[in-house]
C-alpha cells in the first residue's frame, strides 16, 4: 500500500489504522511470512504494536504479538512466564526509554557513585538479555535511550558526569558494546528518531502523564517504522538494487540537450554540489551491498559521457547493468531483473520524474518507486525509507557488487562456448557441501527467509531453529557453497531432510538464483544420496508446494529419477526415490572439496 511507504502521513495512518489493516488483509493474492513477536514495554505499546503490524503486513510479514502489561518488560522477560514460553517468540522487542531509568545520578554524587549507578542500570539490562537469549533463542531488538527533555546542567549536562545527558550517552555506549558482541541483538535507535522528529515535540510530557507513552503519539508511526525496518532486514527482506535515472537524478540538467560539459555536477555551483553529495551517498550504498543499475531515457553513448566526467563520483564501472535507451523504463527494469536473476520487487527505482515512477509502479508490482522530492531531499528520503537497512555487515554484502560483476563476466564467457558443458567446465567450479556449521547459521537462516523461486517447500526458519536442527541427529542438513574462477558465490544452497524409519523426508531444498544452471543441485543430490546410503536410509521423499513464485522447480525431483506418487487439488506433489545399491554421480562439472 502506497500510503505506508516512506515518506508517509503519520496522522493519517494513526487515524485510519483499522481501515488500513482491513484493506491489507483483504488482498488475498499476497503471501506472508508468519512471525511471532513479543513486545516487552517499559511504557504503553498499544499503538506501536498496531502500526508496526501495518508496516509488516504491507511487506508480506504477518505478525502475531505477545504484549507485556504496561511497564512489565523486566518481570515478563526475567521471571517464570508460562504465557511467553507458550508464545515461543521468534523476535523480542524491548521498548524501553529514559522513563525506565531507575537510578539517575544526583549532582551531589561523586564519580564512583555515578559509575556504580551506571553499572546497576546496565547490569539489569544485560541480565535480562542474557536470560532471554538463554530461554527463548530468538532475536532481540532493544531501544537505546533517547535524550532527556530537560537539562538541569544546561550545556554541561552533556559532559559532566552528573548530567542526565552524559549518563544516557554512557549507558547507550554500553548497550552498543553488548550489541557488537552478540549476534541476533539489534539496537533500535530511538535516540536518533527523537532527534530527527524534534525532541521537544517527541518528548511532550503530556503523553507520558496522560497515557504513559514514552513519546508523543504522532511520532509513533516513525518509531514503529524503525522497528519494522530492523525486522524486515533480519528476515532478509531488504531491497537489493537501486535502479537510477540520470538526468536530474544523478546530475542536474538533460545531458542530451545541454551536453556533457554543461550538466550540473561537481563543486562549481550549489546545485552541482548537491548532486555530488547525492552521488557520494549512492556510492556509499554500493559499499554496503546495494547493487546499482542505470535506467535512463538517453542515447547510451551520450549518457556514459556524463559518468566519464572527472568530477562525477559514480563511474560506469559502479553499475552492474547500464540501460540508457528509449524503451519504457518498466521493460528495462524487468530486463535488468532477468539479467541479475532477481525479482523486480528487489528493485527501488530512483527517478526524479513522477510520471516515470507512476508508470513503473503501475506496470510492475512490488517495485518501490519513492517520491524523492527535490535534489536536496533525495538523500533523506531514500535513507529514512531504509531499503537496505543494515542489521549485519557481512563480507557477502560488501562484496555483492563484485559477485554480480563476476556474473556478468560469466555470461560473457558463456557466449564464447557453443557447448554448455564446455562452458561449465571452463568455470573451474569448486563446491563445499557439508552439514550446517556455526560459521554459516545466519546466512542459512537468511536464505530460508528470502529464497522464493528455487525453493521446493518455501519453509521459513529462524536462526535459532536452524541451530536446533543442526544439533538434532534425526536431521540431515547440507549447505552448498560455490566458487569458480570468477569469484566466490558464498553459501547458495540449503537442504534439510528429516529421517523417519529409514526414510528421508526433504523438508527444505532451496538454491539462490545467483547460481542457476551450474549443476550445483546435482552435486548436492549426489552428496545427499551418499550420506543416506551410509546411514542405511533406503527411501527419499521429496515435496513440492507451489507458490506464486516457485514454478521453476515444479518438476525438480523428476530430474533425479524420483517418481511422483501424489498430487492434491492445490498442486502439492510428493516424489519418491529408492536409493540404489550403486549410485552413479550426476554432477560432472563441479569439484566437491572435502572438508575435514
Partner 1 sequence: MSREEVLSKLQKIIRDVFDDEDIEVSEETVATDVDGWDSLAHITLIGTIEDEFDVKFAMKEVVNLKKVGNIIDLIMEQL
> Which positions lie near partner 1, rule CB under 8 A?
11, 14-19, 22, 44, 46-47, 206, 209-211, 213, 217-218
Residue 479, beta-bridge partner list: 434, 494
Beta-carbon count within 10 A of 373 CB: 12
Nearer to partner 1, 209 or 534 (CB): 209
Q: Which is nearer to partner 1, 47 or 245 (CB)?
A: 47
Cα dihedral angle (132, 137, 138, 140), rounded to 10 degrees?
Answer: 30
Taking the complex as a whole, the smallest distance from the CB of residue 11 to partner 1 amounts, in Å, to: 5
Number of neighbours of residue 268 by Cβ within 10 angstroms = 11
Backbone φ/ψ region at 595: left (φ over 0), alpha (ψ -120 to 50), beta: beta
Minimal CA–CA distance to 95: which of 118, 63, 69? 69
φ and ψ at residue 313, rounded to 5 degrees: -70, -40
Measured from the CB atom, is 220 or 334 closer to partner 1?
220
CB nearer to partner 1: pick between 49 and 443: 49
Q: How far is the CB of 14 from partner 1 (least distance, A)?
A: 5
Non-local CB neighbours of 299 within 8 Å, separated by 6+ positions: 256, 324, 325
Q: Please, which residue, 197 or 213, has the CB nearer to partner 1?
A: 213
Is there a contact between 216 and 207 (Cβ–Cβ < 8 Å)? yes
Report the helix count and the strand count for the chain, using DSSP H and E: 22, 17
Compute the least distance from the CB of residue 235 to partner 1, in Å.
28
Provide the minimum distance between the beta carbon of 100 and partner 1 in the complex, in angstroms, as a whole number.
20
In whole angstroms, how close is the CB of 44 to partner 1 at the nearest point? 8
Identity of the residue, 12 or 32, whose beta carbon is nearer to partner 1 in the bound complex: 12
What's the CA gap between 475 and 469, in Å, rounded? 6
Closer residue to partner 1 (CB): 210 or 583: 210
Quick one: which of 585, 493, 573 has its CA closest to 541?
Answer: 573
Cβ at position 218, least distance to partner 1 in Å: 6
C-alpha cell at 341: 536473476
Give the nearest distance from C-beta 188 to partner 1 in angstroms.
22
Considering the complex, state which of residue 212 and residue 305 has its C-beta at the smaller distance from partner 1: 212
Residues 6 or more apart whose CB falls under 8 angstroms from that of 154 comprise none
| Residue 121, C-alpha cell as written in the block | 542500570
Q: Which three cell numbers stand for residue 441?
A: 547459521
From 345, 224, 349, 338, select the one nearest 296 (Cα to Cα).
349
CB closer to partner 1, 198 vs 259 = 198
Nearer to partner 1, 211 or 475 (CB): 211
Please identify, using beta-carbon distances, which residue of 20 and 431 lies nearer to partner 1: 20
Residue 219 CB, nearest approach to partner 1 (Å): 11
Q: Are the beta carbons of 347 and 411 closer than 8 angstroms?
A: no
- 19 vs 180 by CB, closer to partner 1: 19
CB 435 within 8 A of CB 224: no
Query: Closest approach of Cβ 388 to partner 1, in Å?
Result: 32
Closest distance to partner 1 from the beta carbon of 13 (Å):
10
Name the minimum Å distance from CB 50 to partner 1.
Answer: 9
For residues 83 and 87, what is the distance between their CA atoms, to the nearest angstrom? 6
Phi, psi values for residue 11, rounded to 5°: -65, -40
Closer residue to partner 1 in complex, CB, 46/115: 46
Shortest Å distance, C-beta 51 to partner 1: 10
Taking the complex as a whole, the smallest distance from the CB of residue 204 to partner 1 amounts, in Å, to: 10
What's the chain's Rg over C-alpha atoms?
Answer: 26
Q: Which of 497, 510, 516, 520 is nearest to 577 (CA)?
A: 497
Nearer to partner 1, 18 or 180 (CB): 18
* Cβ-defined contacts of 511-517 (< 8 Å, 24+): 511/451, 511/454, 511/455, 511/480, 512/447, 512/451, 512/454, 513/341, 513/342, 513/451, 513/453, 513/454, 514/341, 514/403, 514/407, 514/489, 515/482, 515/489, 516/341, 516/454, 517/420
Instruction: Give the residue with the Cβ less far from partner 1, 50 or 247.
Output: 50
Element housing 56 (H / E): helix 46-58
Q: How far is the CB of 217 from partner 1 (least distance, A)?
A: 5
Strand partners for 41: 95
- The distance of closest approach from Cβ of residue 20 to partner 1 in the complex, given in angstroms and rounded to an integer, is 9
C-alpha to C-alpha distances, 216 to 199, 378, 543, nearest whole angstrom:
10, 27, 50
The closest of 374, 186, 369, 378 to 285, measured between CA atoms, is 378
DSSP assignment of 240-284: -EEEE--BTTTBBS-HHHH-GGGSB-SSSSHHHHHHHHHHHHHHH
Amino acid at each position: 500500500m502506497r500510503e505506508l511507504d516512506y515518506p508517509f502521513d503519520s496522522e493519517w495512518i494513526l487515524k485510519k489504522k483499522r481501515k488500513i489493516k482491513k484493506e491489507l488483509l483483504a488482498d488475498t493474492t499476497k503471501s506472508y511470512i508468519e512471525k511471532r513477536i513479543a513486545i516487552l514495554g517499559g511504557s504503553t505499546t498499544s499503538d506501536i504494536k498496531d502500526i508496526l503490524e501495518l508496516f509488516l503486513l504491507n511487506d508480506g510479514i504477518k505478525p502475531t504479538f505477545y504484549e507485556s502489561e504496561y511497564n512489565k518488560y523486566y518481570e515478563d522477560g526475567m521471571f517464570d512466564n508460562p504465557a511467553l514460553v507458550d508464545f515461543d517468540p521468534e523476535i523480542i522487542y524491548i521498548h524501553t526509554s529514559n522513563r525506565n531509568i531507575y537510578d539517575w545520578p544526583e549532582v551531589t554524587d561523586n564519580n564512583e557513585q555515578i559509575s556504580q549507578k551506571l553499572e546497576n542500570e546496565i547490569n539489569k539490562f544485560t541480565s535480562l538479555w542474557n536470560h532471554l537469549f538463554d530461554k527463548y533463542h530468538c532475536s532481540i531488538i532493544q531501544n537505546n535511550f533517547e535524550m532527556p527533555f530537560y537539562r538541569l546542567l544546561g550545556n554541561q549536562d552533556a559532559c559532566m558526569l552528573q548530567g542526565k545527558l552524559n549518563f544516557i550517552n554512557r549507558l547507550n555506549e554500553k548497550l552498543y558494546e553488548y550489541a557488537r558482541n552478540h549476534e541476533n541483538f539489534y539496537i533500535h535507535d530511538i535516540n536518533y528518531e527523537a532527534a530527527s522528529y524534534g525532541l521537544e515535540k517527541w518528548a511532550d510530557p503530556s503523553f507520558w502523564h496522560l497515557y504513559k507513552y514514552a513519546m508523543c503519539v504522532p511520532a509513533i508511526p516513525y518509531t514503529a517504522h524503525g522497528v519494522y525496518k530492523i525486522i524486515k532486514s533480519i528476515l532478509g527482506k531488504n531491497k537489493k538494487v537501486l535502479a537510477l535515472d540520470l538526468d536530474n537524478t544523478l546530475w542536474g540538467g538533460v545531458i542530451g540537450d545541454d551536453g556533457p560539459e554543461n550538466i550540473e555536477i561537481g563543486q562549481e555551483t550549489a546545485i552541482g554540489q548537491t548532486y555530488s553529495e547525492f552521488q557520494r551517498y549512492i556510492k556509499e550504498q554500493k559499499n554496503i551491498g546495494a547493487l546499482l543499475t542505470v535506467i535512463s531515457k538517453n542515447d547510451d553513448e551520450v549518457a556514459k559521457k556524463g559518468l566519464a566526467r572527472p568530477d562525477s563520483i559514480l563511474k560506469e564501472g559502479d553499475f552492474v547493468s547500464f540501460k540508457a535507451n528509449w524503451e519504457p523504463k518498466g521493460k528495462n527494469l524487468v530486463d535488468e531483473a532477468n539479467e541479475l536473476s532477481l525479482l523486480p520487487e528487489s528493485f527501488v527505482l530512483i527517478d526524479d520524474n513522477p510520471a516515470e515512477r507512476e508508470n513503473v509502479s503501475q506496470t510492475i508490482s512490488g517495485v518501490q518507486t519513492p517520491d524523492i522530492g527535490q535534489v536536496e531531499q533525495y538523500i533523506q528520503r531514500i535513507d529514512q525509507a531504509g531499503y537496505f537497512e543494515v542489521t549485519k555487515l557481512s563480507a557477502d554484502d560488501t562484496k555483492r557488487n563484485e559477485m554480480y560483476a563476476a556474473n556478468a563476466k560469466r555470461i560473457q564467457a558463456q557466449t564464447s562456448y557453443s557447448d554448455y558443458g564446455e562452458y561449465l567446465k571452463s568455470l573451474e567450479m569448486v563446491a563445499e557441501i557439508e552439514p550446517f556449521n556455526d560459521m554459516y547459521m545466519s546466512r542459512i537462516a537468511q536464505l530460508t527467509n528470502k529464497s522464493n523461486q528455487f525453493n521446493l517447500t518455501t519453509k521459513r526458519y529462524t536462526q535459532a531453529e536452524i541451530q536446533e536442527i543442526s544439533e538434532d541427529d534425526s536431521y540431515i542438513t547440507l549447505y552448498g557453497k560455490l566458487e569458480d574462477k570468477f569469484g566466490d558465490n558464498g553459501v547458495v544452497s540449503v537442504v534439510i531432510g528429516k529421517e523417519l524409519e529409514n526414510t528421508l523426508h526433504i523438508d527444505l531444498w532451496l538454491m539462490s538464483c545467483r547460481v542457476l544452471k551450474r549443476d550445483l543441485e546435482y552435486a548436492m543430490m549426489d552428496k545427499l544420496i551418499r550420506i543416506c546410503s551410509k546411514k542405511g536410509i533406503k527411501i527419499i521423499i521429496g515435496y513440492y508446494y507451489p507458490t506464486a513464485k516457485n514454478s521453476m522447480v515444479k518438476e525438480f525431483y523428476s530430474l533425479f529419477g524420483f517418481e511422483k506418487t501424489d498430487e492434491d487439488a492445490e498442486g502439492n506433489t510428493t516424489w519418491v526415490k529408492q536409493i540404489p545399491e550403486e549410485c552413479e554421480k550426476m554432477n560432472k562439472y563441479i569439484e566437491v572439496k572435502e572438508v575435514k
